[in-house]
Structure 1
Amino acid sequence: MKTSSISVIIVEDHVIVAEGLNSILSRTEGIQLTGVFPGAEEALLFLEKQDTDLVLLDISLPAMSGHDFCRLVKSKYADIKVIALTNHTEKSVILEMLDSGADGYLLKNISRQELVEAIFQVIDNRFTMHPALQQIIFSPGHSRKSYPRLTTREREILQLVGTGITTHAIADQLSISTQTVDTHRRNLMQKFNVGNAAALIKKAVEAGLL
């Protein structure tokens, strides 16, 4: 995890929500709030000039959707983390956001502690999602798609990746080395042709594996 403060911006067009997030993050040790923007265009101009670690992103934005904004940020700034912060609980919306490259998906009714923990979790390269949302996207409701052939160990690791736990935790639970876990992660992402854990989870859900 980073030892310096995490640079965070907020992209949120509802003033009351933005002010609440501002109040929380401005008082949180280890986090530096560097900007609050009502729309994607202003945020993109800022990102061109200022190094940023993480974006807290509302999905429903004027002019450009959160999905498109996330996809654009990920294509231009691969190291910037994006957490969707929204009221949308529809499976299709969640999956589309994961497909856009989001590193986390949270609801706006979460607590201050949950928000702060999620930020540090994502900066530590761990996907984050509230358990209630995991139940939504992992529930039946779409046809099973074809998927690559997986080994028993890959299936085990895929299930654990879906819970959002760290590589070290997976290694401890399965009594294998972290290097072995990383190898299996890379193999899974290669087999599913994805670039991060969020996209891997999305593909696995669509294939009926989670």
Structure 2
Amino acid sequence: MASFHLIRYAGLDAARHMAFDRPVLRGTGGLRFWRLLGTGKGRSMSLGADLRRWALFAVWDGESELECFLERSPVAARWRDESEESWHVRLMPLSSRGGWGGADPLAAATAPPRATPPGPVAVLTRASIRPRRLVAFYRSIPDVDRLLHRQDGCLASIGAGEWPLARQATFSLWDDEQAVGCFAHRTAAHRDVIGRVRREGWYSEELFARFVPFGSQGAWDGRDPLRPVRE
């Protein structure tokens, strides 16, 4: 299974935690893959950074290992004690293709192909952008960003990155699989960008994964975006 954690700190010195957390995460039992991510100011990847908000994407051996981390890790303790806002969600992988650091971290955790269950879907995309394609990539973002703001069925979305400019990701929540498909295939701006990505070879590596989100807790911009769905 996987998890996604979004933490907003009260002060601008939050970046120091990125360095201090790494050795702790490396020694966390049952944590098979993780990435600490800075976040953007918009709903998609952008040049602007929110220096107070950071994210963690993690893949676990099982839910018990995640629970142990949340209860006992000094990283999670600081989230509780020092954050202004935090949001956590458990993720059951449905499908994954591509790579992150040379391999698909979700390959062993993804369920065999089957119909997506009804209800909300989480989507993670990430890419390593070729340096010569950075200008084209960032010129394409504003149209997609505006589309996300008004897209029906998008519950929440955030742009993130593990390395400034060239290694970028998005995490988004949707009403259902149909809403994901409408955005991906039926909106001209997004179709055009995807077409250019393929034709012009913008990425040296990319990953696209879908999940069933469950067990969410906390707040993301003042609310839990999955709560209206559950209620």
- TM-score, scaled relative to structure 2: 0.28
Greater relative contact order structure (CA < 8 Å, 6+ sep)? 2
Q: Give the number of the structure whose residues are more often helix, by fraction.
A: 1
Q: Give the number of the structure whose residues are more often strand, by fraction.
A: 2
- TM-score, scaled relative to structure 1: 0.30
